[in-house]
Amino acid sequence: MKKTTVYELRTLYRDNMRVTGMEFGSGEKSAVIVGGIRGNEVQQVFTCAMLVKKLKELEADGRINAGKSILVVPVINSYSMNIEKRFWSTDNTDINRMFPGYDKGETTQRIAAGVFNAVTGYKYGVHFASNYIPGRFVPHIRIMKTGWEDAETAKDFGLPYVVMRDPRPYDTTTLHYNWQIWETKAYSLFTNQTESIDPDGADEAVKAVLNFLNARGIIRFDNHRGYISSFIEEKDMVSVKSNTAGIFRCFSDTLKTVKRGQALAEILDPLDGSVKAEVKSPVDGTVFFTQEKSFAHANAVLFKIIPSL
C-alpha cells in the first residue's frame, strides 16, 4: 500500500487540509472507492478503513492482479468531521453538490475540483454514500440513469437490490453523476448508519466491494457471492407518511414482507401515551426503509415499501 495526498488546501491559521488516498497495485486505473464526503459520515469512513485493512491483506498475499490499481479515499471533509458538522465548516456548503468543481471558485468548489481531478479516469468508481433521511435501509447499490450508466455490472456486488434513479437537477453536481459524464462507471453503495458505526453493515459493504472487484478481474477474492440482485426503480417505491406528529413506535424492520393494511407503526401522544394514529401499509410488498428517529413529524416519510408485482 502506498499512502498519497490526493488534494491539499492551504490555510492561514491551521495546518493545511489534506485529503489522503491509499493506493494498491499498479498499472491501469481500475477502481476508486470514496468514503465520507460530508462531515457526519462516520460509517462511510469506518467502512473505507475496513476496506483498506482487507486490501492490505490481499496485496500482501499477491491477490491484486497484475496491471491493476485501486485507490481508496476514506474521507474528504475532515475539517467538518473534526467539529461534527455535516457540511463545510465555514459557509455550510455541501462538497457533494460542487462537482466537478472549479479550481478558482469558492473553497468547496476548489476542494471538489482537486479531489475530482484525482479520482477521475478510473474505470469503476464506488461511493459509500449516505441518505438525507436518517433511517435504516436495505443495503443496496444506487445508480443514476444518465445514459452512460452500466447497471448490469452492479449485480456483481451481490447486494439484494440495485435501485435505478432518474437524476434531478441538483444531482448533476454530485460525484456519482460527474463520474458517469467523465466515463467512469459509477455506483453509490448505501448501508444503514451514517453518524455512528455499524460493524455488520460495514462488513457487508466491504464484502460487496470485494465481490465486485473480483468479478471485474481486479483482485482474486474467494467469498460467498451474496444475493442475485433485483432491479427496482426508485420512483416505483411507495412512501408511507405520517398524518400527525408524536412518538414513533415501529413494528416492522427492513426486508420484512408486509400485507396491505398491516400495522407498521403507531404514533403516540407524547403527553399521555395514547395512540394518535396507526400507520398501515398501503400495499403488499417488502419494507425497504424505516425511519430511525423516535419522534415522527407530520407528513414525514416513515417507511418506503417495494410493492409486490
Are 111 and 243 in a shared domain? Answer: no
**Residue 231: C-alpha distances to residues 99, 162, 165, 168, 207 (Å):** 27, 5, 11, 20, 20
Number of neighbours of residue 275 by Cβ within 10 angstroms: 11
Separation between Cα atoms, residue 253 and residue 251, nearest integer Å: 7
* Per-residue pLDDT band at 188 (split at 50, 70, 90): very high
pLDDT at residue number 134: 79
Whether 13 shows a pLDDT value over 80: the answer reads no
Give ∠ CA 106-110-112 in degrees, rounded to 5: 120
Are 144 and 279 in a shared domain? Answer: no
Of 184, 209, 233, the position where a domain reaches its end is 233
Of 179, 214, 233, the position where a domain reaches its end is 233
pLDDT at residue number 280: 97
pLDDT at residue number 191: 87
Give the chain's domain count: 2
Of 233, 253, 274, the position where a domain reaches its end is 233
User: Residue 69 is placed in which grid cell?
Assistant: 490499481
Separation between Cα atoms, residue 230 and residue 245, nearest integer Å: 34
Are 229 and 112 in a shared domain? Answer: yes
Q: Confirm if 48 and 202 have CB atoms less than 8 A apart.
A: no
Are 226 and 296 in a shared domain? Answer: no
pLDDT at residue number 287: 97
pLDDT at residue number 74: 98
Looking at residues 289-304, what average pLDDT do you find?
Answer: 94
pLDDT at residue number 84: 85
Task: Supply the CATH number for residue 264's domain.
Answer: 2.40.50.100
Looking at residues 237-246, what average pLDDT do you find?
Answer: 96
User: Residue 181 is placed in which grid cell?
Assistant: 459524464
pTM of the predicted structure, to 2 decimals: 0.94
* Per-residue pLDDT band at 179 (split at 50, 70, 90): very high
Q: What percent of the chain has pLDDT over 70?
A: 100
Are 218 and 250 in a shared domain? Answer: no
Are 244 and 102 in a shared domain? Answer: no
Are 37 and 79 in a shared domain? Answer: yes
39-95 pLDDT, tens digit per residue, is: 999 999 999 999 999 999 999 999 999 999 999 999 999 989 988 899 998 899 999
Task: Supply the CATH number for residue 148's domain.
Answer: 3.40.630.10
The set of long-range contacts for 150-153, using a CB threshold of 8 Å and a minimum separation of 24, is 150/185, 151/231, 153/124, 153/185, 153/212, 153/215, 153/216
Whether 309 shows a pLDDT value over 80: the answer reads no
Are 268 and 201 in a shared domain? Answer: no
Are 88 and 128 in a shared domain? Answer: yes
Whether 250 shows a pLDDT value over 80: the answer reads yes
Are 216 and 175 in a shared domain? Answer: yes
Q: Which residue range forms the structural domain that includes residue 188?
A: 2-233
Are 272 and 146 in a shared domain? Answer: no
pLDDT at residue number 90: 86
**Residue 181: C-alpha distances to residues 52, 75, 284 (Å):** 27, 23, 37
Are 207 and 267 in a shared domain? Answer: no
Separation between Cα atoms, residue 34 and residue 205, nearest integer Å: 13
197-228 pLDDT, tens digit per residue, is: 999 999 999 999 999 999 999 999 987 778 89
